Structure 1
Amino acid sequence: MTAKQHAPATQRNRDPIAAVLAQELPDSGTVLEIAAGTGEHAIAFAQRFAGLEWIATDPSPDALASIAAYRDESALPNLRAPLMLDAASPDRWPIENADAIVCINMVHIAPREATLGLFRGAAQLLGRGQPLILYGPFIERDIVTAPSNLEFDSSLKLRNAAWGLRDAEALDILGVQHKMARSARHALPANNIMLVYRKD
Structure 2
Amino acid sequence: MDKPHSPACERNRNAILGVLSRHFADRRRVLEIGSGTGQHAVHFAAALPALTWQSSDRAEQLPGIRAWLDEAALPNTPPPLELDVNGDWPSGPFDAVFSANTLHIMSWPEVQRLFARLPAVTSADAVLAIYGPFNRHGRYTSDSNAAFDAWLRSRQAEMGVRDAGAVDALAEAAGFSLLADVAMPAHNHCRVWQRLRG
Q: TM range, normalised to the smaller chain?
A: over 0.9
TM-score, normalised to structure 1, is 0.93
Q: What corresponds to 1:132 in structure 2?
A: 128
Structure 1 ranges of 4+ moved more than 4 A? none
* Alpha-carbon separation, structure 1, partners of 2:128 and 2:71: 28
Residue aligning to 2:71: 73
Take 1:142 and 1:163, find their aligned partners in 2: how far apart are those partners?
15
Paired with 1:193 and 1:36, the residues of 2 have a C-alpha distance of 18
- 1:29 is matched with 28
RMSD: 1.5
CA distance in 1, matches of 2:19, 2:138: 23
Change (3 A) 1:28 1:169: closer
**Could you say what secondary structure the match of 1:129 adopts?**
strand
Deviation for aligned residue 1:144: 5.8
Q: What does residue 18 of structure 1 align with? A: 17
Aligned to 1:145, what secondary structure does the other structure show? coil
Instruction: Give the gaps of 5 or more residues in structure 2.
Output: none
Matched residues in 1 for 2:140 and 2:102: separation?
Answer: 22
Whole-angstrom CA distance in 2 between matches of 1:155 and 1:4: 26
Q: CA deviation at 1:70?
A: 1.0
- Distance across 2 between alignment mates of 1:8 and 1:46: 19
Is 2:89 the counterpart of 1:93?
yes
Q: What is aligned with 1:191? A: 187
- What TM-score does the superposition give when structure 2 sets the normalisation length? 0.94
Gaps in structure 1 of 5+ consecutive residues: none
User: 1:70 is aligned with what amino acid?
Assistant: W
The alpha-carbon deviation at position 177 of structure 1 amounts to 1.3
Distance 1:157 1:86, change over 3 A: same
Q: Residues 150-165 of structure 1 correspond to what in structure 2 (within 5 A)? A: 150-165=146-161
How do 1:89-128 residues align onto structure 2 when only pairs under 5 Å count?
A: 89=86, 91-128=87-124
Q: Percent identity?
A: 37
Residue equivalent to 1:40: 39
**How far apart are 1:193 and its partner, in Å?**
0.1
Find the residue that maps to 2:45 and give its secondary structure. helix
Give the whole-Å Cα distance in 1 for the aligned partners of 2:13 and 2:117.
25
How many equivalent pairs are there? 196
Does the 8 A contact of 1:123 with 1:180 survive in 2? no
Q: CA deviation at 1:140?
A: 1.1
C-alpha contact (below 8 Å) 2:34/2:102 kept by paired residues: yes
Pair 1:59–1:142, CA change in 2 (3 A):
closer
Q: Which residue of 2 aligns with 1:8?
A: 7
